[in-house]
Structure 1
Amino acid sequence: MAAPVAILLVGILFAAAAAELPRLDHAHKGDGSLTLLVVGDWGRRGAFNQSMVAKQMGIVGEKMDIDFVISTGDNFYNNGLTGVEDKAFEESFSNIYTAKSLHKPWYTVLGNHDYRGDALAQLSPVLRKVDSRWICIKSFVVSAEIADFFFVDTTPFVLKYWTDPKNNTYDWRGVYPRETYMANVLKDLEDALKQSKAPWKIVVGHHAIRSVSEHGDTQELLQHLLPILKAHGVDIYLNGHDPCLEHISSRDSKLQYLTSGAGSKAWRGVQTPNADKVEFFYDGQGFMSLRLTSAEASLAFYGVAGEVLHSWQHAKPSGY
């Protein structure tokens, strides 16, 4: 088993801007490997096959002896949490992901549906007292020696949420003004990427940079985030938002775009090609696994019956 994660949360949860991104340390296994699961767009009190996905996550998690889970956002539908006492937290999280193998840290970002409720509730240390697995910060870094994971709060980047024609309200506390918040997040991310010496650099956000499903590419991320990822040699971008499983390879960089947003409601019936190479697309429910060593990355996408839908391996060039 991996050593427990070391966490320092005091004074960082509600800061709109910081000198640097909060950093959490998570040791890899004794054999030098790191294994994790990725799931997104799940919080529906077990409905829309969420419970089935959770069951298979538990089985795969045990087989792989996972170190942690990444949640790519939209954690609670349809409108986030109403507060720290909202029973939806337990009904959609604690009571669903019950397998022993899933009792590891859950590193979590907020999605646009989370911002429709009390976004600060999900960041509150109160929820960690309810379920100690829950680690949710707007933007932060998890350093696992052989890999650094950079979590980015993407929802404020998307302009349409600020002028939502459907009259949805969003919890912009600690975010407004948008332009300043975005600039600070991008600067802090770039600084953290410059400092990283890890063989693997993985960025996690809720919204897709590249997607062929219903929501498609996120133009604000193509403009503001993607150039930073390419400039600093990021290997993988993980996201949710689109309710599907996707693997898209960049045609002009080493970036792999991986969507794991199929934790519950899916089957949108949309696929629109973009400029990059679609390695895999699945419109149903499921989740993803990732195993890393300093020399190799292996990923797999799973369906609700635990079947492997797609797998991919990549060797890290010497000298990375």
Structure 2
Amino acid sequence: MAFALLTLLSAVVGVTLSYPAAFQDLGGNGNNRTSIRFLAFGDWGGLPSAPYVTTVQTATAQEMSVVAERMGADFILALGDNFYFKGVESVDSPRFQETFESVYTSKYLRVPWYVVAGNHDHAGNVKAQIEYSQRKFPSYYYELNFHIPNTGKTLTIIMLDTVILCGHSDDFTDEKLRGPLRAVDANRQLVWLQERLAQSKADFLLVAGHYPVWSISEHGPTKCLLKKVRPLLLKHNVTAYLCGHDHNLQYLEESGVGYVVSGAGNFLDSDTSHLKRVPKDSLKFFTGQSSTKGGFVHAEVTNNKLFLTYFQSKGTSLFRTVLSQRQFV
């Protein structure tokens, strides 16, 4: 394969991760720099039949390459729904070539891809994505740690499987979460999350999953995450939560936590039907217009700031915001 899809999921749900998680190697790119850069996008999984891609997906991939070349990208966070509409069935699925390798061909995108599974992935065989990655980790959820080059500061990203945590969503029927398939697995992940957040001393702490905590669009806020995850984000002074699921770009901010919705990798949806279900004045940016031709987020983490820039695929930035490093009492 052209380059490894570092799914970093797992074939075994019930195994606990070792502590502390190892720090990721940025390679030679960190020698003369003082920041980490990455791209974040979700819902990029093409189509299950010819031509196996959408125009939004190809346009987004092209602009991701342009931005990665100009602004830098050490890795990519892929936020779920990696293969529409029912994931893949086996490690030999042609979809890996048709929807992934044949699209993200730029040398600037040949960086580690850290991926979580979305509801459409769970409709198929998530283990096949794990096997394809050729990289085994002991859980569908995992932790990434990075040294920010030449600063003495650290970045931690906690990757969640929100489908295991909250249940499956069938976008073709009632779209409602059905609750976790196995309560024991959901609880185990939640306990793990609590422990990792409580122990983290990272200067920047991000959490990423597929389902949104807050969203004004079609799926709206996820009740399960509002109950189980949002209190932990607030308690442990998490910098930001990143997700997909709704097919647009949003930025919300509540109680000092940034909420990034970046689900415009394959389709676009301008729906704002849940605008009144988010906290007042929390919405800072939204676009789901077809004229954007898709989009994604570029992040840069420096010694004391997290810069988030939203790009549309037709070649311009749409919104930028800045978050500060965590403060410990």
Same fold (TM over 0.5): yes
Is the counterpart of residue 282 in structure 1 residue 290 in structure 2? no
- Structure 1 counterpart of 2:266, from 264, 285, 288: 264
CA distance in 2, matches of 1:49, 1:184: 37
Partner of 2:150: none
Is the counterpart of residue 16 in structure 1 residue 13 in structure 2? yes
State the 1:231 CA deviation: 1.3
Q: Which amino acid aligns with 2:266?
A: S
Per-residue CA shift, 1:178-215, capped at 9, x if unaligned? x1111100111111122222100000000000000110
Report the TM-score, using the length of structure 2 for normalisation.
Answer: 0.83
Give the number of equivalent residue pairs.
299
Is the counterpart of residue 183 in structure 1 residue 187 in structure 2? yes
- Structure 2 counterpart of 1:120, from 106, 127, 131: 127
Partner of 1:244: 248
Q: State the SS of the aligned residue for 1:73.
A: coil
CA distance in 1, matches of 2:204, 2:240: 8
Is residue 15–residue 138 contact of structure 2 (8 Å, CA) maintained in 1?
Answer: no
Per-residue CA shift, 1:149-182, capped at 9, x if unaligned? 0001001233464x999499xxx9xx852x1111
CA distance in 1, matches of 2:66, 2:266: 17
Is residue 21–residue 188 contact of structure 1 (8 Å, CA) maintained in 2?
Answer: no
State the 1:56 CA deviation: 0.3
- Over the residues paired in the alignment, what is the CA RMSD in angstroms? 2.9
Is the counterpart of residue 53 in structure 1 residue 53 in structure 2? no
- 1:89-108, aligned counterparts within 5 Å? 89-108=96-115
CA distance in 2, matches of 1:165, 1:33: 42
Percent identity for Structure 1 against Structure 2 = 29
CA distance in 1, matches of 2:218, 2:18: 31
Partner of 2:144: 142
Is residue 122–residue 136 contact of structure 1 (8 Å, CA) maintained in 2?
Answer: no
Gapped regions of structure 2 (runs ≥ 5): 47-51, 148-153
Is the counterpart of residue 110 in structure 1 residue 117 in structure 2? yes
- Structure 2 counterpart of 1:26, from 2, 5, 24: 24
State the 1:18 CA deviation: 2.7
Q: Which amino acid aligns with 2:157?
A: F
Question: Which is further off, 215-224 or 136-145?
Answer: 136-145
Report the TM-score, using the length of structure 1 for normalisation.
Answer: 0.85
Gapped regions of structure 1 (runs ≥ 5): none
State the 1:269 CA deviation: 3.1
Partner of 1:306: 315
- 1:119-268, aligned counterparts within 5 Å? 119-124=126-131, 127-128=132-133, 138-145=140-147, 146-159=154-167, 161=169, 166=173, 176-177=181-182, 179-250=183-254, 253-268=255-270
Q: Which amino acid aligns with 2:14?
A: A
CA distance in 2, matches of 1:238, 1:82: 27
- Structure 2 counterpart of 1:295, from 273, 281, 304: 304
Is residue 12–residue 138 contact of structure 2 (8 Å, CA) maintained in 1?
Answer: no
Q: Which amino acid aligns with 2:160?
A: V
CA distance in 2, matches of 1:87, 1:113: 17
Q: State the SS of the aligned residue for 1:49.
A: helix
CA distance in 1, matches of 2:53, 2:18: 33
Is the counterpart of residue 76 in structure 1 residue 73 in structure 2? no
Q: Which amino acid aligns with 1:314?
A: L
Is residue 246–residue 263 contact of structure 2 (8 Å, CA) maintained in 1?
Answer: yes
